[in-house]
Amino acid sequence: MQANKFYILIGLFATTAIGAGLAVSWSWGPVDDPGQVIAMQGLINQNGYFGGIASRVAELASGDFVGGVFRPLAWIYPAFIYSLPSGLAHLIRIAMLVVIVVAPVIYVRRKGQQPSSVLLLVFIVSFAGAATLIQGVTLLSIQEVGGAFFVAIGLLSSNKYARLIFWVLAAFFKGPFAWILIGYAIFHWKRGDKKIAASSGFLGIAVLLTNVLWSLGGSYSGRYITDPFDPQLWANASKILEPVNAVLLVMILWWAISTKSQLTRGEDFIIFAVAFFGFFFQMIPWGFTAYYMGPISYFLAVMLAVTISASPEAPKRLIAVGLVVPVFLMIWVVGTNVSLVLRTNEIMRESTVCLGQITDAQVSIFGNALYVTSSPEGPIRMEQNTKIVFPDWRGTLSTETNSIESVTSTEATHILVIDGLIPGINFDPSPICTSGPISLFQLTGNSAD
Residue pair 447/413 in contact by the 8 Å Cβ criterion:
yes
- pLDDT the model gives residue 270: 97
Amino acid 300: pLDDT: 97
pLDDT means per 10 residues in the chain (449 residues)? Answer: 79 95 95 93 95 95 86 94 95 96 95 87 97 92 93 96 97 96 97 96 95 76 70 82 93 95 93 96 82 94 95 88 96 96 94 90 85 87 93 85 58 83 61 87 63
CB 372 within 8 A of CB 29: no
What pLDDT is stored for residue 287 in this prediction? 79
In 3D, which of 273, 264, 271, 268 has the Cα closest to residue 307? 264
Query: What 3-state class would DSSP assign to 425?
Result: coil
In this prediction, residue 368 carries a pLDDT of 83
Distance CA 176, CA 409 (A): 46
Predicted structure pTM score:
0.92
Contact 442, 413 (CB under 8 A): yes
Distance between CA atoms of 28 and 72, rounded to whole angstroms?
Answer: 23
Helix axes 179-190, 194-216, angle to 10 degrees: 160
**Do you know the residue count of the chain?**
449
User: Please, what is the angle between helix 143-156 and helix 86-111, to 10°?
Assistant: 40
- Rounded CA gap, 185 and 274, in Å? 10
E strands within 193-319? none
Residue type, 150: F
Helix (H) or strand (E) holding 11: helix 3-22
- CB 224 within 8 Å of CB 285: yes
For residue 370, the model assigns a pLDDT of 83
CA–CA gap between residue 415 and residue 438 (Å, rounded) = 10
The pLDDT assigned to 399 comes to 78
Q: What are phi and psi of 415, to 5 degrees?
A: -120, 125
